[in-house]
Structure 1
Amino acid sequence: MRPFTFLSMLMQQRIDDALRLERIKSAHDPRRLALLRRRRAQLGRRLSRALLTPAPVGS
């Protein structure tokens, strides 16, 4: 696994955690939720592309 893919997976996990915490709040910020959802979607697209491309030999 390439370092970019691994770091992207960690970022995705942090974004998911932030979304979960924001949803738990009694008065959550809809703008922050929208921003986190947009980031998660963008990162998901990048991560899926990274997982579909073969890793170079020797990495």
Structure 2
Amino acid sequence: MTQPSKEPCKKEACDIQACLSKNNFIAQRCLKVIEKLEACCEKCSYNSTHCGSLSGLLKQKPKV
């Protein structure tokens, strides 16, 4: 059995970095992975150091 990660949203944060790198750092092209990090942060009550950068990313998200 694997132990739960001490950083529960690390994978999602790494996925965002990879997406941004591939897309010339245009956040709008990475909305799906940003939303996955948002969901992870909500699930762990923002108890991950990777959730701190989420607010800046969400500001770039277009309002519907």
Normalization by structure 2: what TM-score? 0.49
The alignment yields a C-alpha RMSD, in angstroms, of 3.0
Q: State the identity %.
A: 5
User: Which consecutive residues of structure 2, in runs of 5 or more, have no partner in the other structure?
Assistant: 48-64
Q: Larger Rg: 1 or 2?
A: 1
User: Which consecutive residues of structure 1, in runs of 5 or more, have no partner in the other structure?
Assistant: 52-59
Normalization by structure 1: what TM-score? 0.52
Structure with more of its chain in helix, by fraction: 1
Runs of 4+ in 1 over 2 A off after TM superposition: 26-29
Figure out how many residues of one structure are paired with residues of the other and give that number: 43
Higher RCO, 1 vs 2 (CA within 8 Å, ≥6 residues apart) = 1
